Amino acid sequence: MCAAISVGEEMASAINDHLVKQRSVIEFLTAEEYSAVVIHKRMKAVYGDACLTEGKVRKWARFYRGEDPKETTVRDRKRTGRPVSATDTMHQQKVDEMIVANRRVKQKDIANALDISKERVHHIITVHLGYRKVSARWVPRQLTVEMKAQRKTICTQLLERFTHDGERFLRSIITGDESWVHHYDPESKMQSMQYRHKNSPAPKKFKVVASARKVLLTIF
């Protein structure tokens, strides 16, 4: 947990330094009377995908325009009033516990449970805890423990036979497969496309059609 927090703090510090650099560039080029569009274009060529959006460049260009560069600052000023505590260690630990308990938990559910904003939840998850949401990988089928043990036993027996008989055993192996073959070629969606006028009714393609004959093709 401490390691995750340390990595998150380093990432947050790196992001802040990157923003300070870009604000410095905006301040300098604005003082030289370049337009926000030109500034964004030049920054995009240097920073690439990490560059601020054109809207943010316009915002900071307006902020620095007409100001004396010796008196402005590119760092965020400390705000008065109640300090932000939504990303403290306690909230980070609670968010981490909720994710471990339910890997599919939604950010809005975490925000409602902890009474903090969804933006703070997203910041804690991605920056402080280092989580990222990924989709499950498709696999042919789910195997039970017994099925895995059976496959292991069969593979062990095959390896033992190969060790004993060598190439003669490999030449004696026959592989097989089977598939249903229709008496017609199913038409794809691309193949069914037609030219129609704008006001003409769209053609129909039925998912379920009258039963057609088919045979089971078995190959060895």
CB 11 within 8 A of CB 137: no
Owner of token pair 């599919």 = 104
Given this model, what pLDDT does residue 215 score? 84
CB 203 within 8 A of CB 192: yes
Q: Of 61, 63, 15, nearest to 39 (Cα)?
A: 61
Q: Which of 89-93, 100-104, 139-143, 157-161 has the lowest mean pLDDT?
A: 139-143
pLDDT in tens, 10-61: 555 556 677 888 888 888 888 888 999 999 999 889 888 888 888 889 988 8
How does residue 142 score in pLDDT terms, banded at 50, 70 and 90? confident
Owner of token pair 């089977």 = 178
Given this model, what pLDDT does residue 175 score? 86
CB 57 within 8 A of CB 36: yes
CB 161 within 8 A of CB 206: no
Given this model, what pLDDT does residue 2 score? 45
Q: What is the CA radius of gyration of the chain?
A: 31
How does residue 99 score in pLDDT terms, banded at 50, 70 and 90? very high
What's the pTM value of the predicted model, to 2 decimals? 0.35
Given this model, what pLDDT does residue 163 score? 92
Given this model, what pLDDT does residue 71 score? 72
Gap between the Cα atoms of 61 and 39, Å rounded: 9
Given this model, what pLDDT does residue 84 score? 55
Gap between the Cα atoms of 11 and 45, Å rounded: 23
Given this model, what pLDDT does residue 98 score? 92
State the average pLDDT for the chain.
80
pLDDT in tens, 151-181: 999 999 999 999 999 888 888 888 888 888 7
Average pLDDT over residues 176-191: 76
Residue 218, beta-bridge partner list = 178
How does residue 95 score in pLDDT terms, banded at 50, 70 and 90? very high
Question: Considering the chain, what percentage of its residues have pLDDT values greater than 70?
Answer: 79
Is pLDDT of 83 > 80? Answer: no
- Residue by residue, what is the 3-state secondary structure of the chain? CHHHHHHHHHHHHHHHHHHHHHHHHHHHHHHCCCCHHHHHHHHHHHHHHHCCCHHHHHHHHHHHCCCCCCCCCCCCCCCCCCCCCCCCHHHHHHHHHHHHHCCCCCHHHHHHHHCCCHHHHHHHHHHHCCCCCCCCCCCCCCCCHHHHHHHHHHHHHHHHHHHHHCHHHHHCCCCCEEEEEECCCCCCCCCCCCCCCCCCCCCCCCCCCCCCCEEEEEEC
CB 111 within 8 A of CB 120: yes
